[in-house]
C-alpha cells in the first residue's frame, strides 16, 4: 500500500461498524463515534463486482473495512474510504465552516477543478473543469497538464481517491494550492503531507437520516440536512 492510501486509513481502530449502506450514489459506514461517506463508483467501472461479505459487513471492525482501500474492487475501496471517514470525520472535530468552493472562488484567479460540482459556475465563475467524461464547457483529462501549469488553485473531488486518480493529480499539481472537496473527503491531517492545503469534507450529525438518504438513492443535496460542511486547513510552517 502506498503512503497516500496509508495516510487515509491512518489511526483507524478496531471499533465495529454499526451500519454499512451501499447506495447508487453514496456509500455510508456508521461507527460508534462518527459516520463516514464515500462516493459510489459507477457500476461499469473496471473491476466492479459484488462485495463478497455483503450481509456481514455490519459488526466488522472499521480497521478491517478500511484495509480494503487498496482492493481491486472499486466498491470495496468506497467502503474502505467511508470506514476511514467513520473514524476521522467526528462530530466534535473543529474546523472552518461554510462552503469551501465559495471560499476558493473568492481567492483564486486561475482555478482548475477536477470534477464537475453542483453550482460550480456560480461559486467559482471561470474555473476550468476537467472531467473523465466531459460535458459542455468541460475539458478532457488530456488538457490537465497545460491547465494545471497555469493554475493558482487546484480543486479535486474526493471521488478521485476512490477511482485511483488522486495520486496523479497531486503529482501534477505539486507546488500549487490544492483543495480536496466533497462529502467523502477524509478529514485527516496526514493528507497535508501530500501537498494538500485544505480538506473540505462533511461531518454527519444525523446518521439515521443520512442512511435513509443513501438507501433511497439521494445525491449530495439529500445529505446536506444530515450534517455540516467542515474544512481543515494545513498549518503554516
- pLDDT by 10s per residue, the chain, length 237: 699 999 999 999 999 999 999 999 999 999 999 999 999 998 888 888 989 899 999 999 999 999 999 999 999 999 999 999 999 999 999 999 989 999 999 999 999 999 988 888 899 988 999 998 898 989 999 999 999 999 999 999 999 999 999 999 999 999 999 999 999 999 999 999 999 999 999 999 999 999 999 999 999 999 999 999 999 999 986
Q: Where are the domains of the chain?
A: 3-88, 100-204+226-233
Architecture of domain 100-204+226-233: 3-Layer(aba) Sandwich (3.40)
pTM of this prediction? 0.95
Q: How far apart are CA 128 and CA 61, in angstroms?
A: 41
**Which fold does the domain 3-88 belong to in CATH?**
Enolase-like; domain 1 (3.30.390)
Q: How far apart are CA 102 and CA 120, in angstroms?
A: 9
Alpha carbon distances (Å) from 75 to 20, 25, 176, 222: 12, 11, 31, 21
Amino acid at each position: 500500500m502506498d503512503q497516500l492510501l496509508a495516510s487515509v486509513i491512518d489511526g483507524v481502530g478496531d471499533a465495529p461498524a454499526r451500519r454499512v449502506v451501499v447506495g447508487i450514489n453514496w456509500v455510508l459506514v456508521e461507527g460508534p463515534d462518527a459516520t463516514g461517506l464515500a462516493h459510489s463508483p459507477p457500476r461499469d467501472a473496471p473491476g466492479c463486482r459484488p462485495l463478497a461479505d455483503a450481509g456481514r459487513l455490519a459488526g466488522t471492525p472499521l480497521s478491517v473495512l478500511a484495509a480494503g482501500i487498496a482492493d481491486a474492487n472499486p466498491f470495496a475501496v468506497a467502503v474502505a474510504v467511508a470506514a476511514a471517514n467513520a473514524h476521522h470525520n467526528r462530530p466534535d472535530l473543529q474546523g472552518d465552516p461554510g462552503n469551501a468552493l465559495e471560499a476558493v472562488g473568492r481567492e483564486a484567479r486561475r482555478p482548475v477543478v477536477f470534477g464537475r460540482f453542483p453550482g460550480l459556475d456560480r461559486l467559482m465563475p471561470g474555473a476550468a473543469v476537467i472531467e473523465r467524461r466531459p460535458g459542455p464547457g468541460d475539458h478532457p483529462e488530456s488538457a490537465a497538464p497545460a491547465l494545471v501549469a497555469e493554475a493558482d488553485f487546484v480543486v479535486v473531488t474526493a471521488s478521485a481517491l476512490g477511482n485511483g486518480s488522486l495520486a496523479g493529480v497531486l503529482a501534477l499539481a505539486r507546488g500549487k494550492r490544492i483543495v480536496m472537496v466533497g462529502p467523502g473527503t477524509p478529514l485527516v491531517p496526514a493528507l497535508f503531507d501530500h501537498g494538500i492545503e485544505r480538506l473540505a469534507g462533511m461531518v454527519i450529525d444525523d446518521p439515521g437520516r443520512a442512511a435513509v438518504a443513501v438507501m433511497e438513492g439521494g445525491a449530495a443535496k439529500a445529505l446536506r440536512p444530515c450534517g455540516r460542511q467542515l474544512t481543515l486547513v494545513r498549518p503554516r510552517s
